[in-house]
Structures are given as structure tokens and as C-alpha cells.
Amino acid sequence: MNDAKNIIKDQIKDLVEDQNLNLSDDTPLIGDGSPLDSMNIVNLCLRLEDIAESRGFSFDWSGETMSKSKSMFKSISDLADELSKQQKSK
Amino acid sequence: MIIISGATRGIGKAIYESLKPDYKNVIGLSKNGDNKLGIIKCDISNLSSVKSAANEIKKIDKKAYAFINAAGVASMNLALATPEEIIKKIININLVGTIFTSQVFSPFLIRNGKGRIINFSTIAVKLGIKGEAVYVASKAGVEAYGRTLAKELSPFKITVNCIAPGPIKTDLIRGVTDKQIRNITDQQIFNKTMTPNDIVDIVKLLLSEGSKHISGQSLAVGGS
């Protein structure tokens, strides 16, 4: 899980080209306070797809809701949780 | 790479065959595909089937320049007497299928850095032809979905357009009489029945580099 959180944080910093960006586990990925625009959320998912593939599993983000209450993009922690869950169920 | 749904029949087949000589990989999708000869089995109205086809295509390449969604069904019925199963089939294949395939195949185009999505509508959306209410509703949905998708994908240099033909002599309109066809073509700007090759010409136009700023549009072939 910590591994997943770190992967996501590294990818976000890379996408926004700011290695000093202050990110916490609770940083939201959609709505106010998100460091990512919608284009970079898609780019983040594509990068996570590639990382998952290199680790022998598929990361499926299609059909994901953008609802603030239910989305896996609610926070870095929620996305990491989903990534870890999909890895375990491979 | 170019991916085409509905590649074994009608307009989709014509597009598939005409693009094969020009592109390195032209992948066809069809409900009747056998994963051989470049045709992959895919029921576009079933999300699992679409994802499964995408996984097959990823083995060839994870990047594609275009997705052409030519799969579709039509049925002539009175609006008030269209059977439930026909309503669901038309909406599921034409509209839901367009949404599923756009969700699953757009990432191929995003990875490519630019691309084209070409969907199919009908000139009947603008003309409002009797007997096609559900079909027209499904295609109007495709046009509206495409306009919004065009905005979401424009930052990725991906265009999304619809081709809206008049009657074309394919299996899709086999139940339509010559008189009914004339009634439609008489309302077009060019009063004639178009051929699959006329549609291929528009597909090639939309695939060209020169069309990179045309997006969110519905092009009525024959004119409306």
C-alpha cells in the first residue's frame, strides 16, 4: 500500500513537473485541491496501467465514477488502495 | 494502427478493406470475428467483450491512430409500436456500444499522441424520417456523445466526428423499399443514393492531417 502511494506521488510530481510538490496521502485527485487537471488524471491512469503491466497485473480504471464521495480519485490513499486491491486480485 | 468495428459487413467492411493497403496495422472488430485474419471477435454492446478485444489488440500495439466505429443496427418500426427487444438492441449496439468502445479504445489514441475517432450517425437525424424513431434517437445520442467527447479529448490532439450518410445500399437497409429510399434522397442536397466508397472518401478525409481541427462535427453525406 505504501509502495502504491509512493508510486502515485512520484508519477504526479513527474506529470506536473514539480519534484518539490507537497503531497499527502489525503491529497485529492479531483475537485478543489487536486494538483491534476482532467488531462493529467487520464495520463496518470495510463502510467499506472503500464506500471501494473510491468508487475504482471492489469489496472482497470474504465467505468470509474468521478463522484467525490465514491471515486477512487477521492485521494491518493484511495487510488493506492484500489491499485493494491487490483494487484492482489490478479 | 487503425481499429474498425463492424468490419465484416457493409460500410465497415468497405472501410476495412480500403484502408488495409495504406496502414501497417488495420484491426477489424466483429461479432463474428475469429481472432484470425485481423478480425477480432467483439460485441460492442458488451463491455467485457470490448475490454477482451482491447487486450488482444494490446498484444499487437498499445498505440492506435484511429478508432472507426462502424458497427450498427437499424430497424424500421412505427415509433408507437416498436417492440421492447428491438428498442433495447438498437440503443445497446448503436449508442451504448459507441460509449463502451470510446471508453476502451480512446487510451490507445492518447498513447499515440494524436488521433481520430469516427462514429456513424444517419442523415435521418436531421431529416426526421418516419419509421426510424428509435434508430434516429440512438444516432442522435451518438452525435451528442461525440460532441462532448470531442471537448474532453481535444487536449490530447484527438478529434471526434460523425459521418451521417443517407441511404447506402448495404444489408443495414435491406428492408427499405426503393420508393422509401427515393423519399429520403429527394430531401438530400445531392438527390442520389451514395455508395460505400463515397463514405470511404469521407473517412479518408477525416483521417488526413488536414482535418486535425475538425472535431465535434456531424458530416451529412449527400447533404441535408
The one-digit pLDDT tens for each residue of chain A (90 residues) are 679 999 999 999 999 999 999 999 999 999 889 999 999 999 999 999 999 999 999 998 876 555 555 689 999 999 999 999 999 887
User: For residue A1, what pLDDT is reported?
Assistant: 67
DSSP A73-87: TS-HHHHHHHHHHHH
- Res B224 pLDDT > 90: no
- Res B11 pLDDT > 90: yes
- Cβ atoms B146, B85 nearer than 8 A: no
Angle formed at CA A58 by CA A28 and CA B4, multiple of 5 degrees: 105
Helices A2-15 & A38-54 angle (0-180, nearest 10): 130
User: For residue A68, what pLDDT is reported?
Assistant: 52
Give the distance between the most distant pair of CA atoms in chain A: 34
Kindly list the residues from chain A whose CB atom is less than 8 angstroms away from the CB atom of residue B111: 46
Grid coordinates given for B61: 500495439
Catalytic residue at B135?
Answer: yes
For chain B, domain boundaries: 2-221
B156·A62 Cβ contact <8 A: no
The β-bridge partners of B100 are none
DSSP classification of residue B164: E
Mean pLDDT value of segment B176-191: 86
B110·A42 Cβ contact <8 A: yes
pLDDT tens, residue by residue, B147-160: 999 999 999 999 99
CATH H superfamily, domain B2-221: NAD(P)-binding Rossmann-like Domain (3.40.50.720)
Choice between B119 and B32, residue whose per-residue pLDDT is larger: B119
Kindly list the residues from chain A whose CB atom is less than 8 angstroms away from the CB atom of residue B155: 39
- A66 contacts chain B (CB < 8 A): no
In a 10 Å sphere around its CB, with 0-12 CB exposed, 13-18 middle and 19+ buried, how is residue A70 labelled? exposed
- A14 contacts chain B (CB < 8 A): no
- The verdict on ipTM greater than 0.90 is no
- B47 contacts chain A (CB < 8 A): yes
B107·A49 Cβ contact <8 A: yes
B110·A63 Cβ contact <8 A: no
DSSP classification of residue B36: B
Mean pLDDT value of segment B132-145: 96
Average per-residue pLDDT for chain B? 92
Which of A:34-53 have CB within 8 Å of B? 38-39, 42-43, 45-46, 49
